[in-house]
């Protein structure tokens, strides 16, 4: 029986570049957009009677959390070579992106057709970016672009 390694050497180079370089930058930019205009403010558990100072504090904490997650993810993916760890990280970030997307679409739906949500077009930006991130993460988790040797009748065929 042939035992295949679980390292990330057989992974498509796009995934390595995207998850190690682009994804942390996208998370930092999304955190900055959130801090600047409160894109995800409908789920931050404060009511309409709260003060601006408290709202700003919660948004700063969200930015700090997103920056920490981005830095930890980038470092962990840089120093690990195990594909199982990569998959676990991407599942967690997939849940994160799904929650952010659901929250943003909920805020748009809650506001109504003629009200401005989050002081600009950044909600649409957040939905588009979350959609792209979700698609890339699902492709990675489903194995698109990851080389797997084919075995037929016990014979290993190279591609």
Phi, psi values for residue 73, rounded to 5°: -65, -45
Tokens of 86: 């990569």
Per residue of the chain (159 residues), give pLDDT as tens: 333 456 666 677 888 888 888 888 887 777 777 666 655 544 444 444 455 666 667 777 777 887 888 888 888 888 888 888 888 888 888 888 787 777 666 655 665 555 555 444 456 666 777 788 888 888 888 877 666 666 666 666 555
pLDDT of residue 113: 57
Transcribe 35-56 into DSSP letters.
Answer: HHH-TTGGGSS--TTS-HHHHH
Residue indicated by tokens 């700090």:
64
CB 35 within 8 A of CB 57: no
pLDDT of residue 34: 64
d(CA 37, CA 64): 15
Q: What separation, in Å, do the N-terminal and C-terminal C-alpha atoms of the chain show?
A: 19
Task: Spell out the domain ranges in the chain.
Answer: 11-148
CB 33 within 8 A of CB 105: no
pLDDT of residue 55: 66
pLDDT of residue 146: 66
Q: Between the CA of residue 113 and those of 35, 109, 110, 158, what are the distances in Å?
A: 24, 8, 9, 55
pLDDT of residue 7: 66
Query: Is residue 117 classed as helix, strand or coil in its secondary structure?
Result: coil
pLDDT of residue 110: 60
Is residue 79 classed exposed, middle or buried when 0-12, 13-18 and 19+ CB atoms within 10 A define those classes?
exposed
CB atoms within 10 A of CB 16: 15
Tokens of 95: 């849940």
């Amino acid at each position: 029986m042939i035992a295949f390694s679980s390292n990330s050497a057989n992974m498509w180079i796009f995934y390595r570049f995207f998850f190690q370089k682009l994804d942390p930058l996208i998370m930092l930019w999304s955190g900055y957009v959130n801090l600047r205009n409160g894109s995800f403010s409908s789920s931050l558990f404060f009511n309409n009677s709260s003060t601006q100072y408290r709202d700003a504090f919660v948004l700063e904490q969200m930015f700090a959390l997103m920056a920490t997650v981005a830095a930890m993810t980038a470092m962990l993916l840089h120093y690990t070579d195990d594909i199982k760890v990569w998959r676990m990280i991407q599942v967690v970030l997939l849940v994160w992106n799904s929650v952010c997307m659901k929250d943003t679409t909920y805020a748009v739906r809650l506001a109504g057709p003629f009200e401005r949500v989050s002081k600009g077009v950044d909600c649409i930006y957040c939905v588009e970016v979350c959609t792209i991130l979700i698609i890339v993460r699902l492709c990675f988790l489903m194995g698109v672009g990851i080389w797997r040797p084919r075995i037929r009748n016990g014979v290993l065929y190279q591609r």
